Amino acid sequence: MWRRGSGGNYVAVCDPLKITLQAPSYSELMGDIADSLDALLKDLLESHEFDQFLQDHGWNLVAPIPARPEDMRFDVPFTVTPIAMAGTNGSQRHLH
């Protein structure tokens, strides 16, 4: 989920992966999300937790991991849903 913060930055939150990011523009936020997913998955690969992580999230590889994973980039498709402040009670809701 993402929204524009009160200071003008764009903020995205992914609760399942416990990631929160902010950037000065929407396009930079999208790039930062892709970079963060790449870094997360590389860290999991290095710590030998990658396979369990994929299984826990119901994800599958579409191609085998290269012999030299440091030379690769994870390209994970993602979507973000905008959120906005709803009404006067300050609760948040999804925009459709």
Those residues whose C-beta lies under 8 Å from the C-beta of residue 44, and which sit 6 or more positions away, are 50, 53
* H runs (alpha helix) in 10-91: 26-46, 50-57
Residues 1 and 12 sit within 8 Å (Cβ to Cβ)? yes
* Strands 2-4 and 83-85, bridge-based pairing: unpaired
pLDDT score of 92 more than 80: no
Q: Where are the domains of the chain?
A: 2-94
pLDDT score of 46 more than 60: yes
- What are the tens digits of pLDDT across the range 49-90? 999 999 998 988 888 888 877 788 888 888 888 986 433 344
Rounded to whole angstroms, how far apart are CA atoms 1 and 50?
24
Q: What is the pLDDT of residue 72?
A: 87
pLDDT band at 33 (very low <50, low <70, confident <90, very high): very high
* Amino acid (1-letter code) at residue 52: Q
Q: Would you mind telling me the total number of residues written for the chain in this entry?
A: 96
